[in-house]
Amino acid sequence: MPGPALRIGAALSLLLLAATACSDNEPAPTAPEPTPMGHTYISTEVTGTPIPGGGPLTLVFADDRISAEAGCNTHSGAVDLRDHVLHVSELASTLVGCPGDRAGSDTWVGDLLRADPTWQLDQDRLTLTGKGTTVVLTDKKVLQPDRPIRDTEWVVTGLLTPDAQISSQTVDQVRPALTIAADDSLTGFAGCNRMTGRAVVTGTPAGADIAFTAATTRMMCGPEVMEVERAVLAALDGTAQATVDADTLTLRNPNGHGLTLRAR
């Protein structure tokens, strides 16, 4: 009886060794080729027809879509990157009137993107080659690294609601601002009154939570200024979600209020 059992065991061992040898010869799976998707690029060099007004061209790739802006309106649409060809669907565009040479940048952007330019990615460097125009762009994270949330003075540039981003002359005039120190202490200006308190930051600039506890002085200003101040304080009421993109900080509060701020 021991003999057959030993022979069966030896046969199983040989089968396992053969299977292992076959698996060792199988090619390792290859990583997918990097694409521009999920990144923002800014032009640093243009060969051929220059950008009217000087540019630069900014391209944002996200969720299989592209948005492009070169000094005037923003153009956006679905994008297909297969076979190293940048193919866009019909582009939607904002309708801002731009003075001088910058007005021509919209046509320049449309001509470039609708020509199905080829794309080549070399680490942080993206090259688009179209009909008579070659554009070299660099990842925005390299050209404009994210500013730290702490120890940066952030100036309010816009108010966020569940439906819109609001910019106003009053916001630009009063320039509400805040600074979070390394010890999470908060100082700033809400639009009429000075702010002090705490702002405890957890997470990273790519996605952080900031727990605000703010107190203000008790001055009264004009109705439009007080309206801005109320919106600022509502955004800083409790914990807000924070993201940083280069020199822009966005705060979104679960209560529906939020702020866009620019580093100064």
Max alpha carbon distance in the chain (Å)?
102
What the chain holds in terms of domains, given with CATH numbers, is: 40-143 (2.40.128.270), 153-263 (2.40.128.270)
Which pTM value belongs to this model? 0.67
Give the highest mean pLDDT range of 8-22, 48-62, 91-105, 162-176.
48-62
Give the separation between CA 125 and CA 128, rounded to whole angstroms. Answer: 10
| Average pLDDT taken over every residue of the chain | 90
Question: Residue 21: its pLDDT value, please?
Answer: 46
**Tens-digit pLDDT profile for residues 111-160:** 999 999 999 999 999 999 999 999 999 999 999 999 999 999 999 999 99
The contacts of residue 239 (CB under 8 Å, 6+ apart) are: 209, 210, 211, 212, 253, 254
Average pLDDT over residues 167-186: 95
Average pLDDT over residues 92-101: 88
CB 135, CB 45: distance < 8 Å: yes
Give the separation between CA 218 and CA 175, rounded to whole angstroms. Answer: 18
The sign one gets for the Cα dihedral 48, 51, 54, 57 is negative
Whether 11 shows a pLDDT value over 50: the answer reads: no
**Which of 12-26, 59-73, 75-89 is predicted least confidently?**
12-26
